[in-house]
Amino acid sequence: MWKQNGKEVLMKLTLMFREYCSLCHKMRDELKPFQDEYGFGLDVLDVDDDPVLEEKYNELVPVLLAGDKEICHWYLDEKKLRQVLES
């Protein structure tokens, strides 16, 4: 169990992000209703702050991960996200 903003969360996902990326902002916003419904935590990492992440995810951002497993990139795959959250 993790804590995010003082709340306990059962699962934590990671969003590989760029501040100037409109698709990144869109995916982050689209994740909010799922966070309310499923109560997962979300770490948002700016790939431009880490050369290793930038090299790995450069052309794919936004990328949504569960651990090191990719859920989706570029656009939110709601069906795949629900499968991960309900497993």
Any domain includes 18: yes
pLDDT at 80: 98
Any domain includes 44: yes
Any domain includes 79: yes
* CATH number reported for the structural domain that contains residue 68 in this entry: 3.40.30.10
Is the model's pLDDT at 1 over the cut of 50?
no
pLDDT at 11: 86
The pTM of the full predicted model, rounded to 2 decimals, is 0.88
Query: CB–CB of 61/52 below 8 Å?
Result: no
pLDDT band of 10, cuts 50, 70, 90: confident
The rounded Cα 20 to chain-centroid distance in angstroms is 16
pLDDT at 7: 53
DSSP state of 39: -
Any domain includes 3: no
Each residue's pLDDT tens digit, 53-77: 999 999 999 999 999 999 999 999 9
Task: Give the count of domains, the chain.
Answer: 1
> What are the respective helix, strand and coil percentages of the chain, to the nearest 5?
40, 30, 30
Q: Interhelix angle for 78-85 vs 22-38, to 10°?
A: 40
- Structural domain including 64 reads 9-85
What's the mean per-residue pLDDT of the chain? 91
Query: CB–CB of 52/41 below 8 Å?
Result: no
